[in-house]
Amino acid sequence: MCGAFQPISLLKELERAESVLDSLLQQLLRLYDNLEPVESNLRVNDFSLGGMIIPGSLTEIVCALTADLKGDPIYNALESLKGKGLKLPTIIKGSDRSETPVTCDSIMKIINAKFNLKKTRFIVNLRWSSLPSSVDYDNVVILGTRFFQGNTREITRFKNSLKELNLDVFEDDGEFGGGLLTYRLTNFAKDVDSIKVLELTLSSALSEKTEKVGEILEAITAT
């Protein structure tokens, strides 16, 4: 007769073990939730300490994902502009021209951790590219219009400020209209009306002109 009670006893032991495992799982989840922000901050600090953030205006941010590639024209321009006394935006450099999801995630975490979005006014994804020969001159910039955010009047004002630098400004909602990073930036900032988000592509010839690159960066800060 005693054997009849063994299944009941075994079931109770299994239920007790399940309860213990569930409790351990909940503790692990709480530990993970506590560690995740710490890990994120460490990654941001590593990014910053690695020299990938160039301090500047806290209300304007430029993401330049080729600016940490030695020999890249944006890298060369930023190196040459050091110590010039220009009023520049904060620049987040990268070495990922393809804008992979992992890199975009890191950029978003940095912006979220380092900047007050309610005070940020302008975020620009700055790129360069070889353009069709008909427009690949040393004064051409392309304003991406596939993904962007901002008041039309303010965007027009910025566009006009580029024209005042004797630049030809084209708009494109196709190949140069906006990649993954610009898409992520616009989604990230969509609930903050005061922020403009744009993608700006320089012609390859223009990206080689350090002085003009500096003027464009100053125009971003002044807008």
pLDDT digit string, tens, across residues 116-150: 878 899 999 999 999 888 888 999 999 999 999 99
Domain identity same for 37 and 59: no
Domain identity same for 97 and 181: yes
The number of residues in the chain equals 223
What is the predicted pLDDT for the residue at 35?
A: 58
For the stretch 172-195, pLDDT in tens is 988 888 899 999 999 988 888 789
Backbone angles phi, psi at 133, to 5 degrees: -55, -25
Domain identity same for 9 and 89: no
Higher per-residue confidence, 178 vs 164? 164
DSSP string computed for the chain: -GGGGHHHHHHHHHHHHHHHHHHHHHHHHHHHHHHHHHHHHHHHHHHIIIIIEE--EEEEEEEETTTTSTT-HHHHHHHHHTTS----EEEEE-S-TT--HHHHHHHHHHHHHH--TTT--EEEEEEEEPPPTTT--TTEEEEE-SS-BS-HHHHHHHHHHHHTTT-EEEEESSTTS--HHHHHHHHHHTT-TT-EEEEEEEEHHHHT-HHHHHHHHHHHHH-
Domain identity same for 38 and 66: no
Domain identity same for 111 and 200: yes
What is the predicted pLDDT for the residue at 18?
A: 75
Instruction: Please report whether residue 112 resides in a domain.
Output: yes
What is the predicted pLDDT for the residue at 41?
A: 53
Query: Does this model's pTM top 0.75?
Result: yes
CATH code: domain of residue 107: 3.40.630.10
Instruction: Please report whether residue 49 resides in a domain.
Output: no
How many domains does the chain divide into? 2
Task: Provide the residue range defining the domain that includes 10.
Answer: 2-42
Separation CA 105–CA 99 (nearest Å): 10
Instruction: Tell me what percent of the residues of the chain surpass a pLDDT of 90.
Output: 57
Q: Per-residue pLDDT averaged across 22-42, rounded?
A: 65
Q: Per-residue pLDDT averaged across 57-62, rounded?
A: 94
What is the predicted pLDDT for the residue at 19?
A: 76
Domain identity same for 6 and 83: no
Domain identity same for 20 and 95: no
Domain identity same for 83 and 180: yes
What is the predicted pLDDT for the residue at 50?
A: 47
